Amino acid sequence: MAQSTETTDWVSRFADEVIEESERRAPGKPVVVASGLSPSGPIHLGNLREVMTPHLVADEIRRRGRQVRHLISWDDYDRYRKVPEGVAGVDKKAWEEHIGKPLTSVPAPKGSSHPNWAEHFKAAMVESLAELGVEFDGISQTAQYTSGVYREQILHAIRHRGDIDAILDQYRTKKAPGKKPSQKPLDEAELEAAEGSGAAGEDDGSSGSAGYFPYKPYCGNCEKDLTTVTAYDDDSTELTYACTACGFSETVRLNEFNRGKLVWKVDWPMRWAYEGVIFEPSGVDHSSPGSSFQVGGQIVGIFGGKQPIGPMYAFVGISGMAKMSSSKGGVPTPGDALKIMEPQLLRWLYARRRPNQSFKIAFDQEIQRLYDEWDKLDAKVADRSALPGDVAAHARAVGTAGGELPRTPRPLPYRTLASVADITAGHEDQALRILSELDPSNPLGSLDEARPRYDKAEAWINTQVPADQRTIVRDEPDAELLKSLDEQAQGSLRLLLDGLASHWSLDGLTHLVYGVPKVQAGFAADATPKELPAEIKTAQRTFFALLYHLLVGRDTGPRLPTLLLAVGQERVRVLLGE
List interacting residues with Zn ion (CB under 5 A).
219, 221-222, 243, 245-246, 248
Q: How far is the CB of 257 from Zn ion (least distance, A)?
A: 15
Q: How far is the CB of 216 from Zn ion (least distance, A)?
A: 12
**Closest CB to Zn ion among residues 222, 536:** 222
- Which residues, 6+ apart, have CB-to-CB distance to 23 below 8 Å? none
State CA 423 to chain mean position distance.
Answer: 28
Distance (Å, rounded) from C-alpha 281 to C-alpha 262?
21
Q: What angle do CA 563, 567, 573 make, to 5 degrees?
A: 110
**Closest CB to Zn ion among residues 217, 557:** 217
**Closest CB to Zn ion among residues 222, 391:** 222
Distance (Å, rounded) from C-alpha 176 to C-alpha 527?
65
Q: How far is the CB of 245 from Zn ion (least distance, A)?
A: 5
Return the number of other C-beta atoms located less than 10 Å from residue 85's C-beta: 14
Report the relative pairing of strands 316-319 and 359-362 from DSSP bridges: parallel
**Closest CB to Zn ion among residues 212, 248:** 248
Q: How far is the CB of 104 from Zn ion (least distance, A)?
A: 17
Q: How far is the CB of 147 from Zn ion (least distance, A)?
A: 23
Q: How far is the CB of 121 from Zn ion (least distance, A)?
A: 25
**Closest CB to Zn ion among residues 227, 333:** 227
Q: How far is the CB of 243 from Zn ion (least distance, A)?
A: 3
Q: How far is the CB of 145 from Zn ion (least distance, A)?
A: 18
**Closest CB to Zn ion among residues 221, 326:** 221
**Closest CB to Zn ion among residues 225, 280:** 225
Per DSSP, the residues of 113-171 read SSSSHHHHHHHHHHHHHHHTT---EEEEHHHHHHTTTTHHHHHHHHHTHHHHHHHHHHH
Cis peptide before 452 (omega within 30 of 0): yes
Distance (Å, rounded) from C-alpha 98 to C-alpha 107?
8
From the list 161, 183, 341, the residue with the least C-alpha distance to 263 is 161
Helices (H), 255-365: 264-275, 292-299, 322-328, 334-340, 343-351
**Closest CB to Zn ion among residues 219, 432:** 219
Q: How far is the CB of 244 from Zn ion (least distance, A)?
A: 8
**Closest CB to Zn ion among residues 220, 301:** 220
Helix axis angle, 48-63 to 343-351, nearest 10°: 90
Distance (Å, rounded) from C-alpha 498 to C-alpha 440?
19
From the list 283, 50, 284, 281, the residue with the least C-alpha distance to 182 is 284
**Closest CB to Zn ion among residues 218, 544:** 218
Q: How far is the CB of 220 from Zn ion (least distance, A)?
A: 8
Q: How far is the CB of 132 from Zn ion (least distance, A)?
A: 41
**Closest CB to Zn ion among residues 222, 377:** 222
Distance (Å, rounded) from C-alpha 570 to C-alpha 493?
15
Report the relative pairing of strands 206-208 and 211-213 from DSSP bridges: antiparallel
Distance (Å, rounded) from C-alpha 201 to C-alpha 198?
9
By CB atoms closer than 10 A (0-12, 13-18, 19+), residue 56 is buried
**Closest CB to Zn ion among residues 149, 245:** 245
**Closest CB to Zn ion among residues 86, 220:** 220
**Closest CB to Zn ion among residues 1, 231:** 231
* Local structure of residue 407 (DSSP, 8 states): -
Q: How far is the CB of 223 from Zn ion (least distance, A)?
A: 7
Q: How far is the CB of 231 from Zn ion (least distance, A)?
A: 17
Please name every residue paired with 204 in a beta bridge, in sequence order, or none if there are none: none
What letter represents residue 451's amino acid? R
SS3 annotation, 443-479: CCCCHHHHCCHHHHHHHHHHHHCCHHHCCCCCCCCCH
Per DSSP, the residues of 257-283 read --SEEE-HHHHHHHHHHHHT--B--EE
Strand ranges for 363-450 from DSSP E: 399-400, 403-404
Q: How far is the CB of 218 from Zn ion (least distance, A)?
A: 9
